[in-house]
A and B are shown apart, each in its own frame.
Chain A
Amino acid sequence: MEQVAAHAQAQVKEQHQQHPIRLYLVVWGFLFVLSAGSYFVDYVGLQGYLRWFLILLFMILKAGLIVAVFMHMAWERLALVYAILLPPLLVLVFVAMMVSESNYTIFTRMAVSGGAQ
């Protein structure tokens, strides 16, 4: 019982995020390179799966760097990390539903009006 109370009452000092400036400059550099990469995908006009794969790859790497380092998520307490990063994954369920819905919509548009919309 005492142990439970002690854990409940545990006073943890609020921590400040302090990291060397160099880290931010390196990440900044990476973000520049990744952005240049995704612009390059469009500039040389890659098409099809390679284009989509590269766009998504660069996007996820950039998003990960921003969240992990610039927003300090890499050093936050795990409870906060889970509370913030897990719920957006549910959007992917919504994506799956809307993909199915879109396929149905375009099917009816083609079938009924011959694609005039």
Chain B
Amino acid sequence: MAQSVQTHTGETDGRPPGLRGVVADFSSDQRAFKNVSWGKAMMWIFLLSDTFIFGCFLLAYMTARMSTPVPWPNPSEVFALTIGGQEIPLILIAIMTFILISSSGTMAMAVNFGYRRDRRTTAALMLLTAVLGASFVGMQAFEWSKLIAEGVRPWENPWGAAQFGSSFFMITGFHGTHVSFGVLFLLIVARKVWRGDFDTERRGFFTSRKGNYEIVEIMGLYWHFVDLVWVFIFAFFYLW
């Protein structure tokens, strides 16, 4: 028995297919996510908990909007911008959406170049992602100040149901905070990649562990998640 435990069985895992494989993994009394590093698994579990946070925010918004007899302000008009004398509905939000999607694209490519150990391209793409993320936050700041100047407060607004303001500030504020922290996270990892920490196996100043290029993928998971949340906010808050 003790010997068979010691035996390495090689790279194959002998997993049954389908749902039986899932049960086998979870019941094997060891790590359940076998070919996934702990870092990636933990990021996924964090993102799962974050999903519930944003899920509850959107639920609170749905409940507020469904339970008020006062008409909800029309987001298409509220978020319209006048460009060249013409009022274009929702244009700023559309631009922000495209910017965030582009940043997700550059991030996905950074992950790819990371595993090719192309540190300069990886760092450059991560920096580009960070710049796009920062411009997204900038536009959000512009949007907030515009709405505040127009008299939107968490407790009132000039167009309709008072809950509009509180839902708006809560949801976009929390999302913007996520983007801001993501930009910081990106800059930190990009600096490490640029310095070649993962090629020279330099130890982290905090954990004293050797890092590797997987941190780029883990960082990417967080960044894509921020983009994912925006997809839902865009659909439910701005378009609905």
Contacts and interface: CB of A to CB of B under 8 A. Distances in A.
Interface of A: 1-2, 5-19, 21, 24-25, 27-28, 31-32, 35, 38-39, 41-43, 45, 51-52, 55-56, 58-59, 62-63, 66-67, 69-72, 76-80, 82-84, 87-88, 91, 94-95, 98-99, 101-103, 105-106, 109-110, 115-117
B69 A115 contact: yes
Given A19-B112, A41-B239, A66-B224, A11 B11 contact: yes
Contact of B63 (A51, A98, A109): A98
Most buried by B among A67, A83, A115: A83
Interface in B152-178: none
B179 to A, nearest CB: 15
Interface stretch (B28-36, B132-140, B185-193, B201-209): B28-36
A1 B221 CA distance: 39
A3 to B, nearest CB: 8
B51 interface: yes
B63 to A, nearest CB: 5
A34 B28 CA distance: 42
B21 A1 contact: no
Nearest to A59: B235
A71 B24 contact: no
Contacts of B29: 8
Given A16-B214, A28-B108, A115-B69, 11 more contacts: A5-B1, A8-B29, A9-B7, A24-B109, A59-B232, A63-B228, A66-B228, A71-B221, A88-B51, A94-B56, A109-B69
B224 A71 contact: yes
Contacts, number: 205
B12 A10 contact: yes
Interface size class of B (residues with CB under 8 A): 35 or more
A105 B67 contact: yes
The 4 closest A-B pairs by CB, nearest first: A102-B66, A115-B69, A28-B105, A105-B67
A11 B8 contact: yes
Most buried by B among A69, A77, A109: A77
Nearest to A43: B89
B115 A98 contact: no
A12 B13 contact: yes
A66 B35 contact: no
Contacts of B24: 7
